[in-house]
A and B are shown apart, each in its own frame.
Chain A
Amino acid sequence: MSQAAAALTVAGACVTLGGRPVLREVNFSLTAGEFCGLIGSNGSGKTTLLRAILGFVPLDQGRIELGGQGTLPGGIGYVPQKIELDPGLPLRARDVVALGLDGARLGPALPSRSRAERVEQMLAAVGASEFADRRVGLLSGGQQQRVLVAHALVRRPRLLLLDEPLANLDVRSTAEIVALLRRLSRQSGTAVLLSAHDMNPLLGAMDRVVYLASGAAVAGKADEVVRTEVLSSLYGYHVDVVRVHGRVVVVAAEAREESHAAVERDPVHTAPVP
């Protein structure tokens, strides 16, 4: 794995927010084109980890390196958690993608054919061509997610971060977005780090998983990490990894005071039959 181009290295990353440790010694790395799920319950530190990678949150200890050394060409693509796109805002889907290309530039936007073509290609790549001219705030959740992915990828970043992009999507849109991200990461060599509280939609797609619980992480291939003994050791108490109808459910052995959404006491909730 050291031969492949590293897109992201997180080594011994510790973050404290408001006196509370949020990330404890997180270690993992991603190589180009890898698709990695960042799995954990609400409050496990997923968003903080993504924000630390973006440089929004300072590390107390450890380091985060992009592209092995220094910054990446094209930077980091980012799809934030549940952004509400204002339906009153006069912005078409294609304008949002264009803002991904040069929204940080100063000066007025001059029409450019190469720019328009790049936007058009990106819209096609995420399957957003048919609603490219519609107001983005009026699109469905799944359509908006495609547009935001196009916004994040249009500068061809080496690393794409997505914070809970599957939350609030219906089953079909979820599967489509996962398949889309998987395909784009393979094609372009972009490493994808996607956070989710439910790993099931990602099971067939993930090359790697980073599993977070109370700020501590284990990383590896999904079938190495999502195991009873590994996750029990991570949580610090016994949990069972149960496979039902091709889905994985992590169940706490006994009722616990602290709430861990990823650890379901009632497996029925995480294994709805689609």
Chain B
Amino acid sequence: MFAPFMAHAWIVATLVALVAGAVGFFVVARRAAFAAHALPLGAFPGAAAAGLLGVNPLLGLTLFAALGVIAITQLQRGERREVASALWLALSLAVGTLLLSLSGQYAQGLYGLLFGEVLGISARQVLGVAILSALALGLLALFARPLLLDSLSGELAAAALGRARRLEWVFLLVLALSTVMALPVVGALLVFSLMVGPASAARALTDRPWRALGGSVVLALLVVWSAIALAYLTDWPVGFFVGLLSGACYVLGRLRGPGAAVQTA
């Protein structure tokens, strides 16, 4: 499994885990798990559109992820975030259905986009993922403290920063970036699990915010590495193991740790 043709898979999966673990900390802190589900799944029709037009799927993904950010932030003015996310999800899936029927065939690539495909990643794709990772992690490092303050209380963040709405933009932008990079690897249906599982386990293990963020990254790395190894050994889909192990993280986090008692009470 450490053969040369697997090198790209390991590199990309590591980058995806780094970003998903870090972004996931804020996803869980901001109670935005549903947005983290709606953005990648809502971006998936972008890939279908790209397939129809014969352009790079990443382009379609980026466009639809960006549209998702705009739709969710704009709809959020009148609605709660979960309503905004649901509306966006329904709308984009409707468009996706149309695009798929227009393309006339259920392309093999689409299966990979839904459930992930780590094998056969090209050097160019690795570079693309690396650039998007650097962007996402850079933005997170820059806005880490304001985002944490805003997770504690939007009112407190607004008092300290003036308007806090821009923070939601930053957050969704980072989420969209990580979506676009992670989607071809772990798939639209499972990006969300990699963000939520390790992060919610990590925050049950420590009371310190930056340790919880680090723990989330470490757990995400363990999940992804184990998933690739298991997929290689069993020839089962990587996405299956990512989802399974992330879910296991979440359950373990709920069972033990400081926050567990209260959440189950």
User: Which of A's residues lie within 8 Å of B, judged by CB?
Assistant: 54-56, 76, 78, 80, 83, 85-92, 95-96, 99-100, 102-109, 133-135, 137-138, 151
Contact = CB atoms under 8 A, between A and B. Distances in A.
A108 B213 CA distance: 12
Contact of A103 (B31, B141, B157): B157
B124 interface: no
A99 B145 contact: yes
Nearest to A136: B152
Nearest to A79: B156
A253 B33 CA distance: 54
Nearest to A98: B145
Contacts of A99: 145, 148-149, 152, 156
B263 A91 contact: no
A93 B174 CA distance: 28
Contacts of B204: 88
5 contacts: A76-B159, A86-B151, A90-B203, A90-B209, A106-B143
B209 A95 contact: yes
Contacts of A89: 29, 151-152, 203, 209
Contacts of A151: 156
Contact of A83 (B29, B145, B153, B210): B153
B259 A87 contact: yes
B142 interface: yes
A107 B142 CA distance: 4
A100 B146 CA distance: 10
Contacts of B202: 90
B262 A91 contact: no
Given A89-B151, A104-B149, A54 B207 contact: no
Contacts of A78: 155-156, 159
Contacts of A100: 160
Interface residues of B, number: 37
A90 B208 contact: yes
A155 to B, nearest CB: 9
A56 B146 CA distance: 18
A91 B152 contact: yes
For the complex of A and B, the 5 pairs showing the least CB-CB separation, nearest first, are A103-B149, A80-B155, A90-B212, A78-B159, A104-B160
A82 to B, nearest CB: 10
Given A78-B159, A83-B155, A90 B207 contact: yes
Contacts of B258: 135, 138
A89 B142 CA distance: 20
B211 interface: yes
Contacts of B31: 86
A100 B258 CA distance: 24
Determine which residue in A83, A99, A133, A134 has the highest number of CB atoms from chain B within 10 A of its CB, and name it: A99
Given A87-B259, A104-B161, A133 B207 contact: yes
Given A80-B156, A88-B263, A104-B145, A134 B210 contact: no
Nearest to A104: B160
B209 A91 contact: yes
Contacts of B212: 90
